[in-house]
Structure formats: C-alpha cells, structure tokens
Amino acid sequence: MTDCKPAVDYSRYQMLQVSREGRIVTVTINRPEVKNALNHDLHEEFGTIFSDLDRDDDCDVIILTGAAGAFSAGGDISWIREQWQNLPMNAAANRTSRRIQNSILDLEKPILAKVRGPAIGLGCTLCVFCDFVYATPDAVFADPHVKVGLVAGDGGALMWPQLIGYARARRYLLTGDPLTGAEAADIGLITQAVPDDQLDDTVATMAHRLATGATYAIRFTKAAINAGLKTTANAVVNTAVHSENLCQFTNDNRIALDAFTNKQNPTFTGT
C-alpha cells in the first residue's frame, strides 16, 4: 500500500494507522500490546476518523481492521477504572461515543470490517456498525458491558436488535456471552465467516467491487438504509449513553472492575 495522499492529513493519528490503495482506505487499530484495547487517546481518534474519511475526496471505500491478529479487545480496564465516579471524565467519554456512532451512521461510503481474534465491547460495536463484516470462524464477538456493571451504551443496544432481532439481542446483551465468528455469521450478526487464509482476499475483492461500482448509487443506497436506523438511534443512543453514565457511579461497576483485575468472579450487590 502506498502512503496517504494529502486530501486529508491523517498524520496526527497515532493509534490508528491509515493507508491507501487506490480509492480504498484501510484503517488499522494499532495497540497490539493490549490486543488493540481502547484507551482515552484511541477512543478520541475514533471520535474524528470517520468524519475525516467522509471529507476525503480520494476515498470511496473503507476497510477497518486490527493489528497483530486481533480486532479489538474492547475498553482498556485501566481506562474504565479511571472513569468510575469521575463525572467529567465519563461524561466526556460518552460525548465521544455519541460522535463515533453518529459519524459512522452519517458516513455514506461503505465500510468493511476485517476481523481476526477478539472483537469485544466497543470493538464489537465498531464491527456491527460496518456495512460488511468478514471474520475468521474462530474470531470472538461479544458485548460484555453487563459483566462489568455497565449498560451497552456505545451502540450495542442499537445495532444488535436491528441485526439479529430483539429476542436474540436480549440473549447476548443481557448476559455478555460471546459468539464465535461462525456463530455470529449463522445468526446474521456479521456478513460471513471466512477461513483465515481466505480472509484478506475476500475483503479485498468486495472492497474492489464496491470501489469500481456506481459510486453515488452505492452511497445513496447506504444513506437510505441508514435513514431509518438514524431515527431509531435518536431514541436509543441517548438513553443508553445516559444509563451507562449512571452505572459508572454504582458499586457493581467497581466490584466488577476489581474482580476483573484480580482475575476473580464478581459478586454483585445490586447497588
């Protein structure tokens, strides 16, 4: 892949690597030492990257992936712990979450997620917001917010019911249980499970097909699909984000974080 053209300056991004091949731009989450878990800085970069891609006139298709065999392990526990009972910090993070969700829904260019390894929490949400999600059969998808005493405020409560129906969404969002890539494909949470040695070619082929298609027909069709979704988002996202904020002041959130750090099972108190 060649270096990015100057249509948009991506040089300020430190934890998202941006590269270009023709009119296809690849964004790679790059915190491999922690399986691409999100901290404050990476979260803030996601708060602006989709808006930058939207105004990049040399980009028609985006591929979103993770470095070193992992998509993203979700929120970095140390970062989540910092937010406990810290109103300015968690309010700021929730504002960024809204920006991420809105900027993805506003982006008319198709986004393809290429997933190996874990796609957990916000990592999973970023996937299910994408237009195509290709993953290896043994990839892991989960939204385990409830396991750390939080509401799925980063978009899971919006997207899972739309993709797999309310009954199945409740099954996974209220337990935080994981699915493999093969299972996620079977229930329609993602587009397709693809053997590891075929994943890169499968994603590249679809990206090329979209990049050489009728650009504005594709964009406007996506916008039409998202129009209804954005209406639903207006009702769901504010409630989910506000509720997650409240949960960051509960004892159960602290108990879960302590248990995770100490590799124990939490004993929740309901307070």
Assess whether pLDDT exceeds 50 at residue 1: no
Q: List the single range of 130-134, 174-178, 214-218, 255-259 with lowest mean pLDDT.
A: 255-259
All structural domains of the chain with their residue ranges: 16-216
Give the separation between CA 203 and CA 109, rounded to whole angstroms.
15
- pLDDT tens, position by position, 55-93: 999 999 999 999 999 999 999 999 999 999 998 998 899
pLDDT averaged over every residue in the chain: 95
CA nearest neighbour of 74 among 164, 178, 163, 175: 178
pLDDT value for 60: 98
If one counts every other C-beta atom within 10 angstroms of the C-beta of residue 124, the result is: 34
Give the separation between CA 105 and CA 88, rounded to whole angstroms.
26
Greatest alpha-carbon pair distance for the chain in Å reads 55
Q: Which residues contact 11 (CB under 8 A, 6 or more apart)?
A: none
pLDDT value for 6: 55
CA nearest neighbour of 234 among 182, 154, 158: 158
In three-state secondary structure terms, 118 is: strand
pLDDT band, residue 37 (cuts 50/70/90): very high
Give the separation between CA 40 and CA 144, rounded to whole angstroms.
19
Whether 128 and 71 have beta carbons less than 8 Å apart is answered as: no
Residue position matching structure tokens 């900027």: 103
Give the separation between CA 16 and CA 260, rounded to whole angstroms.
27
- Report the amino acid identity of residue 132: F
Q: What is the pTM of this model?
A: 0.96
Give the separation between CA 191 and CA 194, rounded to whole angstroms.
10
CA nearest neighbour of 162 among 138, 131, 121, 135: 131
Element (H, E) at 200: helix 196-211
Assess whether pLDDT exceeds 60 at residue 211: yes
CATH architecture of 16-216: Alpha-Beta Complex (3.90)
Q: How far apart are the first and last CA of the chain?
A: 51
